[in-house]
Amino acid sequence: MVLLFLRFLFRKLRFFGSSCLSHKPEGEYHEKQSDECKIKTRLQKSLDSIKDSLGNSCDVKTHTFKFGPEKRFSGAIVFIDGLVSSSTITESILRPIVSWQPIYKLGFSEDELADLVSGELLCAGEVTKVSLLSELTLGCLSGDTAILLDGCPFGLVVSTKGWEKRNVTEPQAETVVRGPREGFTENLRTNTALVRRKLKSENLRVENLIVGRNTQTDICIMYLDGIADPKVIETVKYRISGLDVDSILESGYIEEYIEDAPFSPFATVGYTEKPDVVAARLLEGRVGIVVDGTPIVLTVPMLFIENFQTTEDYYTRPLYASLVRILRFIGYLITVFLPAIYIALINFHQELIPTTLLFTIANAREGTPFPALLEMMIMIFAFEILREAGIRLPRPVGQAISIVGALVMGDAAVSAGLVGAPILITVAITSVAGFLVPAQNDSASLLRLIMMLLASFAGWYGVSMGFLAVLLYIGSLDSFGTSYFDGFAWSTNLQDSIVRMPLWSMVRRPKDIARNNLVRRRFFIPPLRPHSHDDNDDSEREG
């Protein structure tokens, strides 16, 4: 009864949370601007209004020039210094236009001139004809170059993006021993290209959205047409396009705005820094969200099991991969429950500890000033502090931190009699086990504290209630229409769950994600044995 009630309660709480935060888009903002300024026929007027809207920023460059027969036409280019590649501007815009000498026809209308410039003169890949000043400025702000021609009510936006960007490097957070080492960069196009290089499929779709009033961030939604569930795609598009926010600086912003359970310690949106991971997830029917300006790419829907899957599970052979995956599950359980179990045993259930071990622990506890809970809290906080310090500090200083952490806080605390050695060992195992599942480090640190509190005032009873509550809570979560806990359920295919079966035996995609297109491959194909191949040859020869 109590459990059912708990489940009910969690669901309700979650719904309440999400209904509070659901955002109703107010779409009038963009339309208001659109009336204001069309591009003027007079060149100088247009330039003035562009200068007006961009202010007097020093990095906005304009350049007017005369061209055509007898230099009778005049035009101007506008761009932002630093965002553009100046060689592209010179080579593909200025040189062809300025050196243009028409030989057959001299009478142009202004309309025709614009078409002629874009169609025949420019040597650029992407030229857009725009009529609104705002579009023109947006083009400039994204690194394109705007061309204005005197007497022509249109502008041309030529793609000249060419800012300084980081190279494709090995990701810091997700390192691998075996597998591709390239990671995403801050450049949207590079990122989509990296995924496309993995998936040379005609079904790979990349759709663009622009979010953020001030940041005007480009966001790409990637999916494999025919595999991804259209409902999920629809939901993602709806949730992102409905956003009316000031800024999107990182994919974390998007994640917070679109996730199903905003107050949950468990992330319901997956993220990765590696193109092969995104490719694999797209192939399972997930949708990727690439945000400009960050190397972190989001994928939805996310299942709880994804925290325990790493790329290397699929690149190493299945037996070892399964062993490591089981280790990860155990590691997660240890990192959440070990301190709580320790406290419960020490404070409530001394009878459950083997006698000799109890003596050892009792000896160690002798003379330590604090109760077990406080001792544990101190050590865990100390560890979290060290970890946080280690992340933020530059590498050479980080080494010093680890020495201070290991020697001073560990050894000295024990020999000074401030904490018992068993507590230190427990904390050490807890924190090291936590690193087995880095994706769930945040939820583990939170749950660990809750479990410790429960254990300290209700013993094993508290820990088991806490465990049940967490289990029910995870079970009640959803991620983009998929139950978060799927992947452990018998109804789904368990080939890639607690153990990883050989790749050739996984003929189906995950049932809950690629709902419409389950069959990866029609047949179960074990690898060919080398001698069976020889046998065939022999029989053919004899025949």
Does position 450 interact with other proteins (CB under 8 A)? The reply is: no
Q: What are the residues facing 186 on neighbouring strands?
A: none
First to last CA, the chain: 72
DSSP annotation of 505 reads G
Cβ partners under 8 Å of residue 81, min gap 6: 59, 60, 61
Counting DSSP H helices and E strands in the chain, the numbers are 20, 12
Among 73, 308, 348, 383, binds other proteins (CB under 8 A): 348
Number of amino acids touching other proteins (CB under 8 A):
40
Closest to other proteins by CB, 231 vs 349, is 349
Binding range to other proteins, per CB under 8 A, among 85-93, 368-376, 509-517, 520-528: 368-376
Taking alpha carbons only, the member of 214, 266, 247 closest to residue 479 is 266
Burial of 416 (0-12, 13-18, 19+ CB in 10 A): exposed
Does position 5 interact with other proteins (CB under 8 A)? The reply is: yes
Rounded Cα distance between 32 and 456, Å, is 59
Does position 355 interact with other proteins (CB under 8 A)? The reply is: yes
Does position 263 interact with other proteins (CB under 8 A)? The reply is: no
Residues 88, 160 contacting (CB under 8 angstroms): yes
- Alpha helix ranges (H) inside 36-82: 43-54
Does position 4 interact with other proteins (CB under 8 A)? The reply is: no
Does position 371 interact with other proteins (CB under 8 A)? The reply is: yes
**Shortest spacing between CB 430 and other proteins, in angstroms:** 19
The contact mask relative to other proteins for 137-176 (x = CB under 8 A, - = no) is ----------------------------------------
Residues 22, 257 contacting (CB under 8 angstroms): no
Q: Which two tokens stand for residue 41?
A: 């026929």
Closest to other proteins by CB, 5 vs 65, is 5
Q: Which two tokens stand for residue 226?
A: 């025919």
Among 76, 280, 289, 414, binds other proteins (CB under 8 A): 414
Does position 361 interact with other proteins (CB under 8 A)? The reply is: yes
User: Restricting to residues 461-490, which ones interact with other proteins according to CB under 8 A?
Assistant: 461-462, 465
Residue 121's φ and ψ, nearest 5 degrees, are: -90, -45
Q: Which two tokens stand for residue 267?
A: 């992330």
Which DSSP helix (H) or strand (E) runs through 156? strand 155-158
Binding range to other proteins, per CB under 8 A, among 105-113, 172-180, 275-283, 348-356: 348-356
Does position 372 interact with other proteins (CB under 8 A)? The reply is: yes
Helix pair angle (43-54, 133-141), 10° resolution: 60
Binding range to other proteins, per CB under 8 A, among 156-164, 267-275, 347-355, 517-525: 347-355
User: Restricting to residues 293-332, which ones interact with other proteins according to CB under 8 A?
Assistant: none
Among 29, 359, 381, 524, binds other proteins (CB under 8 A): 359
Burial of 502 (0-12, 13-18, 19+ CB in 10 A): middle
Does position 416 interact with other proteins (CB under 8 A)? The reply is: yes
Among 7, 9, 210, 215, binds other proteins (CB under 8 A): 9
Does position 69 interact with other proteins (CB under 8 A)? The reply is: no
Q: Which residues bind other proteins (CB under 8 A)?
A: 2, 5-6, 9, 12-13, 16, 346-348, 350-351, 355, 358-368, 371-372, 414-417, 420-421, 454, 456-459, 461-462, 465
